[in-house]
Every structure is written in C-alpha cells, then in structure tokens.
Amino acid sequence: MILPTEVTIVEVGPRDGLQNEPGVVPTEVKVGFIDRLARTGLRVVEATSFVSPKWVPQLADAAEVLAGIDPVEGVRYPVLVPNEKGLDRALEAGMREIAVFAAASEAFSERNLGRGIDASLEMFAPVVRRAGEAGLRVRGYVSMVCGCPYQGDVPIGDVRAVTTALLELGCDEISLGDTIGVGTPGQVNTLVEALASDADLDRLAVHLHDTYGQGLANCFAAFDAGITIADTSAGGLGGCPYAKGATGNLATEDLVYALHGSGVTTGVDLEALLDTTAWMAGQLGRAPVSLAARALLTRRDAP
Ligand code: HMG
Ligand code: MG
C-alpha cells in the first residue's frame, strides 16, 4: 500500500455533524466545539452553513456562531453556501472560504437543493464567480459518489461530469462525498483513479460517511490512489438530513489513530482531540460513536 507522508484533515463535525442533530445545539456550545477543535492542530474546521434556516434550522445561528469564535491563526474556517444569499451572509460574516455542494444524483439534488443538477450548477455559478472575485477559496462538494438512496447506483461518468463542471466554474478543490457510506474500498480506489484524469489529485478530497463501517478502509483506498485530503468529524458525529439512513462521517479519531500508527503526519494532537470529543459528548449527553475515541477514553479512565 502506498501512503502519503502527510494528510490534511478537514474537520466537518460542527457543520455536517451538528446539521443532523435532532435538537438545536446552543450557539455557545457550537462556539466552544469549534474553538476546541481549532486548538487541536487541525488546520481546517468547517464551521457552519449559510443555508435556508427553513431547510436546516439546526444551523440558523451561523452568523452568531462565527461572531462568537476566537479564530486561531493559520486555521481555515470554511462555511457551506448554496446561493448568492448565502454568499452575502458569509461575506458579511467576514468568511474567507466557502463550499458549494452539488450531487452526482438527480434525485438527491432535488431533495437537498430543491432543483436538479444543472439548475444547481446555474445557482452556484455566480456564487463561485463572485467568491473568486472577492479572493475567497471555494470548495465544491459532489454528493452520492458511491450510490444514492433514491436512485441506487451512480455511474462514475456522472461523478466525473459534476466534478469537471465544478472545476470549470472555478472551484479550487472538490470533495467526493459518499454521503450514505455505501462505498467499498475497491469502488473508492477505482473512482479516484478515474477522477485522476479530470483533476490534479491534490485538488481532490474524500468525504466518507461511515454508515456501513467502510469509512476508514475507503479512506485508505483513496490514499492508496493518491488522495491526501480527507473530511472527518470528531467523535463520528453527523449524517445528512436529506439522505435517508446516512449516519456520521468517518470519525476524526479513527483516522488520526490509523494515520499516526502508520507513520503519516496530520498535525493533530490526538489527546487534545479526545478532550474535545469527550467535552462534546458531555454536551450532547451521549457517547461518541468513534471506536478509537471510545477505546482511548476508556483506557484513559482506567486506574
Ligand atoms: P428554496 O426554498 O428553493 O429557495 O431553497 P428559495 O429561494 O425559494 O428560498 C426559500 C426561503 O429560504 C426564502 O425565505 C429565502 O429567503 C430563504 P422566505 O422568503 O420564504 O422567508 N433562503 C435563505 N435564507 C438564508 N440563507 C440562504 C437562503 N436561501 C434561501 N442561503 C436552498 C433553496 C438551496 C436555499 C435550500 O434548498 C437549502 O438551503 N438547501 C440546503 C440543504 C442542506 O443544507 N443540506 C445539507 C448540506 S449538504 C450535505 O450534507 C452533503 C455534504 O456533507 C457532502 C456529502 O456528505 O456528500 C456536503
Ligand atoms: Mg456529508
């Protein structure tokens, strides 16, 4: 297996994790979570979304959250933005990095954005253009790259088409989302190898939900194919409100434990990350789903 020497982790817990909580997490808890994560050595913490509060009430306090955090020098805080209204809100909040989010499945695009793929790209075009003019970094997500709960199989050609379209709009980086965690290592490896002919591998990331317990294996299959950027959530928080059956992202602890054990650098202090996950578990009133976090916290508590 070929592994990179260094992996960049994009922590998505405050956004992908908290958008899926059954209740609304208090603003000060979100702020505390982001500030703790940003002090663990993580270089990117996706903080929140400027989406319609009618669609995702859990993140309606995006501006208040961003006004409350104490930014760490050198840490990036991207936010999700679906349309120009979202971009205006992000610019007003002083954000320097945004993410638009498309899908490789028409059916999911309709459910997540209220419009099909082409119409979603039309919605993103002025967002990406204006963001670029304002000097913002723009990430583009492609959801359902390994399968869709509404459509079933998603052809690799459809993933390639949306990836290429987002790059042509001007996205700096594309994150490939296995939104419902159905992918397998062979599939992810093949997918990344196919996409390598459309984009430089250092502009591609993987965003793997762990619904079927494949997240870590899939992530390593992506590394083996040349990927060096992976999205994870502390404790394994998360899911997607518009993707039936999707559970959390691959847990940050699971990935950091596996990478450090394999001699790969992440810059993350695993002990500080565990402190954060334990604190957040206390706030949410339930244990983290991350197996590495559970094991390490149990060992820490042992006499
Ligand atoms: P719409 O209803 O078609 O849009 O929503 P609209 O223009 O008709 O607006 C409806 C209302 O929302 C209006 O308010 C707008 O002003 C307001 P009203 O006039 O009724 O009072 N509105 C907004 N308010 C604040 N900020 C905004 C905004 N936009 C409209 N930006 C829209 C279209 C795209 C906005 C909606 O479908 C939406 O917000 N969707 C987001 C859904 C979402 O956040 N999903 C989860 C994130 S994606 C994900 O999790 C996958 C990912 O993790 C990768 C993976 O796992 O694969 C990224
Ligand atoms: Mg996701």
Q: What is the CATH number of the domain that holds 78?
A: 3.20.20.70
Count structural domains, the chain.
Answer: 1
Q: Which residues surround ligand 2, an ion (CB under 5 A)?
A: 16
Is residue 2 situated within a structural domain? no
- 1 in a structural domain: no
Task: Give the ligand whose atoms come closest to the C-alpha of residue 178.
Answer: 1
Token pair, residue 285, equals 């009133």
Residue 219 annotated as catalytic: no
**Taking 90 as the threshold, does the pLDDT of residue 121 lie above it?**
yes
Span 199-214, mean pLDDT? 97
Q: How confident is the model at residue 182 (pLDDT cuts 50, 70, 90)?
A: very high
- Distance (angstroms) between ligand 1 centre and the Cα of 134 equals 22
pLDDT score of 144: 98
* 280, part of any domain: yes
Tokens of 225: 């194919």
Q: How confident is the model at residue 239 (pLDDT cuts 50, 70, 90)?
A: low
End-to-end alpha carbon distance in the chain: 38
Pocket test for ligand 1, best of 52, 87, 122, 158 (most atoms within 8 A of CB): 52
> Is the residue at 186 inside a domain?
yes
pLDDT band (50, 70, 90) for residue 130 = very high
Contact 79, 47 (CB under 8 A): yes
Judged on CB neighbours under 10 Å (0-12, 13-18, 19+), 182 is buried
pLDDT value of position 51: 98
Residue 55: pLDDT band with limits 50, 70, 90: very high
Characterise 254 by phi-psi region: left (phi > 0), alpha (psi -120 to 50), beta (else): alpha
Structural domain includes residue 153: yes
Residue 147's domain comprises 8-301
Amino acid sitting at position 139: R
The string of pLDDT tens digits covering residues 99-112 is 999 999 999 999 99
Mutational pocket test of ligand 1: of 51, 87, 122, 130, the residue with most ligand atoms within 8 Å of the beta carbon: 51
Nearest to 297 by CA among 277, 269, 267: 277
**Quick one: pLDDT at residue 241?**
65
- Report the C-alpha gap between 248 and 91 in whole angstroms: 29
Question: Is 243 a member of any domain?
Answer: yes
- With a Cβ cut-off of 6 Å, ligand 1 is lined by 16, 19, 49-56, 80, 82-83, 85-86, 89, 101, 112-114, 141, 143, 177, 179, 207, 209, 240, 242
Q: What is the pLDDT of residues 8-35, one digit of tens each?
A: 999 999 999 999 998 889 999 999 999 9
- Render pLDDT for 264-285 as a digit per residue (tens, 0 to 9): 999 999 999 999 999 999 999 9
Closest CA to 229 of 279, 190, 176: 176
Q: Is position 167 within any domain?
A: yes
Whole-number mean pLDDT of the chain? 96
Nearest atom of ligand 1 to the alpha carbon of 54: 12
Per-residue confidence (pLDDT) for residue 142, from 0 to 100: 98
Ligand nearest the Cα atom of residue 232: 2
Model pLDDT, residue 247: 85
Q: What's the pLDDT score for residue 146?
A: 98
Q: What's the pLDDT score for residue 240?
A: 64
CA 179 – ligand 2 centroid, Å: 5
Q: Is residue 3 part of a domain?
A: no
Query: Residue 185: which residues within 8 A CB-CB, separation 6 or more?
Result: 214, 217, 218, 220, 221
Size (the chain), residues:
303
